[in-house]
Structure formats: C-alpha cells, structure tokens
C-alpha cells in the first residue's frame, strides 16, 4: 500500500513538473513598457495639412481661452505668438458672417475683460466660461446646434487642454473640426505635436478632423455681417 502511494505521488509530481515546463515554454517574453522604451521612441512623420473651404452659414470659429492671464509667456510660451494669426482668422470670419464663440476658464475664474483686445468680443458674439472641455457642463453644444452649426474652427490654448479636449468631444458629437496648427499653442512644441497627432489618428476623431493653417482656410461667398 505504501509503495502504491509513493508511485501515485511521484506520478503527480512528474505531471506537475511537465506542465510547468510546457507552460514556461509557451509563455511569451515580457515586453518592455512605454517608459522603458521612452528614449527609443522616434516621432513619426508630421500629418499633412489640407486646404479647406467652409460654408459660413454652418461654421463657427471658436477662440479658446485667449485671455491674458493664460495666454502668456509665463504660462504657455507660444501663445502670444498666435494672436496675430487668430486675429486674421477672426477678421475673415466676421467679414463672412461666421458665428464666433469666445471662451475663458472657470478654474481659475477669468472673465471677458481679460481677453486680448485684438480678439475681444464684439456685437452679439458668444462668450462662455468653462472647463478645458468647453462642452462639459456648458450650453455650447445647444448654442451651436440651434444655429445650425456643423463645422468648428478652433484656435487657442492650451493645445493639450482646451483644444484637444474640446475637439475630441466635438468630433464625437458629430461636428466636423478644423484645426489650423499655427493657431494653437502650449508650453512647448511637444505638447502641440502630440495634440495634432492625436487629433489626426484617434479613432472616430481623426475621421472628423482636418489639420490646416490659417492661410489655407477659405470661406464660400457670403453677405458680410449676415449669419
């Protein structure tokens, strides 16, 4: 009886050892994670910019957080440099009757008076405060859809915050999104680079997003001052 018990035990141990060997042989090698491979990652080629022509009646220009306390050399070093491009696009939008939306932040609470004068609110243009995602807990979606807007042109700061967050939501809500890369800013070019890469490659979002520059945007003829 004792010999039989030894044979059973030895057999079980042999089976367990064989299973361990088979399992070990079949297990894939552990892949390095992104942190371990960080220094070896090479940036892909830049996305291609496209010329676009938009319909003023169904397009809105959204100027994201172009307020002096945020759009500054201290906070977002590249931001003051995009003000001329934003103003040029704003002037063209106004001349073609495009809906204009200005935004600022709730945290911190920065009001309309802090907008750069070159891109300040005029007439019946919309001003709203919100989180980095300007659609979050705001009336922006309803405001745009009530006006029949289907396309957004977004410029401003921060590329990796207000621009990226708002544009991702806009695309998922069904809006077409146009991003002039010379009209967005962040602390440095890496933030801007991964923003445009994500917008042009993220599932769903990429199909609704067009990367361009302010000089490559044209408006179809419209009566000045009319929407």
Percent of the chain at pLDDT > 70 equals: 84
The CATH fold assigned to 52-219 is Rossmann fold (3.40.50)
Return d(Cα 214, Cα 181) in angstroms, integer: 8
> What pTM was estimated for this model as a whole?
0.83
Q: Are 87 and 61 in contact (CB under 8 A)?
A: no
CB-based contact 189:181 (threshold 8 Å): no
Residue-range domain boundaries for the chain: 2-40, 52-219
Mean pLDDT over 119-128 rounds to 96
Omega prior to 158 cis, within 30 of 0 = yes
Report whether 60 contacts 89 (CB < 8 A): no
Mind giving me the DSSP string for 191-203?
HHHHHHHHHHHST
Closest CA to 64 of 179, 172, 143: 179
pLDDT score, position 31: 82
pLDDT of 142-174, one tens digit each? 999 999 999 999 999 999 999 999 999 999 999
In tens, the pLDDT along 129-140 reads 999 999 999 999
């Amino acid at each position: 009886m004792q010999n039989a018990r030894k044979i059973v035990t030895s057999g079980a141990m042999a089976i367990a050892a064989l299973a361990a060997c088979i399992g070990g042989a079949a297990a894939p090698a552990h892949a390095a994670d992104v942190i371990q491979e960080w220094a070896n990652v090479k940036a892909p080629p830049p996305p291609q910019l496209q010329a676009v022509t938009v319909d003023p009646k169904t397009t809105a220009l959204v100027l994201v957080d172009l307020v002096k306390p945020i759009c500054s050399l201290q906070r977002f070093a590249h931001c003051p440099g995009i003000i001329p491009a934003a103003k040029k696009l704003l002037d063209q939008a106004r001349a073609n009757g495009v809906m204009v939306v200005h935004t600022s932040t709730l945290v911190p609470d920065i009001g309309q008076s802090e907008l750069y004068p070159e891109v300040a609110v005029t007439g019946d243009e919309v001003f709203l405060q919100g989180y980095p995602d300007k659609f979050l807990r705001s009336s922006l979606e309803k405001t745009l859809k009530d006006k029949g807007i289907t396309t957004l042109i977004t410029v401003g700061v921060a590329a990796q915050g207000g621009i990226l967050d708002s544009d991702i939501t806009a695309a998922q809500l069904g809006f077409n999104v146009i991003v002039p890369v010379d009209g967005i800013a962040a602390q440095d070019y890496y933030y801007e680079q991964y923003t445009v890469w994500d917008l042009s490659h993220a599932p769903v979002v990429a199909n609704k997003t067009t990367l361009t520059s302010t000089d490559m945007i044209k408006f179809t003829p419209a009566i000045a001052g009319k929407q």
